[in-house]
């Protein structure tokens, strides 16, 4: 009985090791040489498996190289589930992101080796950016379900959970974009705070009276 139970567990651990080895091989090769200079066959060879084994775990080299950040959406969602029930939804989302950034048990992007390089590359490579977008969308769908549960509502009928997550995820995305373009890996937590502050602060303030500086009527020679 015990032997029968251990066999699937052993297979699961072996599969996890194979997946991790492939993901690490993709991560190292792509960051060292560039996405376009690396083939799936080279990743499989580095991991000491064949192409068919690679295809069992990943659909593309982009999918493999991003496996190192795939779990971060789950970590944010776990933190979101753990937030106190009485917190307003957007506050809960913000604090979940900050909990993930500060978690001593699982390093966030700014404290994990070479993740900054990976996200800089994703910002430049369209296929890598698209694959990363799919990972974000999957995580956000789970976030919407969590927020809907907190609000005791049906997200198919109530737009508030989707709006909450769109706002929070948008703030995180804006912070990430500023982070990778700014060239300072340690700045991510400050930029996240700044992005969420903008959501609740000056963006809701009364705009000053008068025409905007980018008005199309300015300087067109009309009188």
Q: For residue 22, give the DSSP letter.
A: H
Other beta carbons less than 10 A from residue 7's beta carbon = 10
Which of helix, strand or coil describes residue 112? Answer: coil
Phi then psi dihedrals of residue 88, to 5 deg: -55, 145
**Rounded Cα distance, 73 and 70, in Å:** 7
For the whole model, what pTM was predicted?
Answer: 0.83
Closest C-alpha among 192, 181, 156 to residue 76:
192
Retrieve residue 97's tokens.
């992101």
pLDDT digits (tens, 9 = 90+) for 176-208: 999 999 989 899 999 999 999 998 776 666 556
pLDDT tens column, 46-104: 999 999 999 999 999 999 999 999 999 999 999 999 999 999 999 999 999 999 999 99
């Amino acid at each position: 009985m015990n032997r029968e139970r251990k066999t699937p567990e052993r297979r699961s651990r072996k599969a996890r090791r194979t997946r991790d080895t492939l993901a690490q091989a993709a991560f190292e090769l792509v960051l060292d040489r560039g996405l376009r200079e690396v083939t799936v066959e080279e990743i499989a060879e580095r991991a000491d498996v064949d192409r068919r084994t690679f295809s069992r775990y990943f659909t593309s080299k982009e999918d493999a190289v991003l496996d190192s950040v795939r779990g971060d959406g789950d970590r944010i969602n776990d933190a979101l589930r753990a937030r106190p029930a009485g917190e307003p939804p957007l506050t809960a989302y913000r604090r979940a992101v900050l909990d993930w950034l500060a978690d001593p048990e699982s390093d966030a992007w700014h404290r994990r080796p070479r993740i900054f390089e990976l996200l800089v590359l994703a910002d430049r490579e369209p296929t890598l950016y698209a694959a990363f977008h799919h990972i974000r969308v999957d995580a956000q769908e789970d976030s919407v379900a969590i927020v809907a549960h907190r609000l005791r509502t049906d997200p198919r009928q109530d737009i508030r959970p989707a709006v909450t997550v769109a706002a929070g995820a948008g703030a995180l995305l804006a912070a990430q974009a500023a982070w990778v373009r700014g060239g300072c890996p340690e700045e991510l937590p400050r930029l996240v705070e700044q992005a969420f502050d903008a959501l609740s602060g000056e963006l809701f303030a009364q705009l000053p009276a008068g025409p905007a500086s980018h008005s199309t009527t300015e300087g067109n020679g009309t009188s």
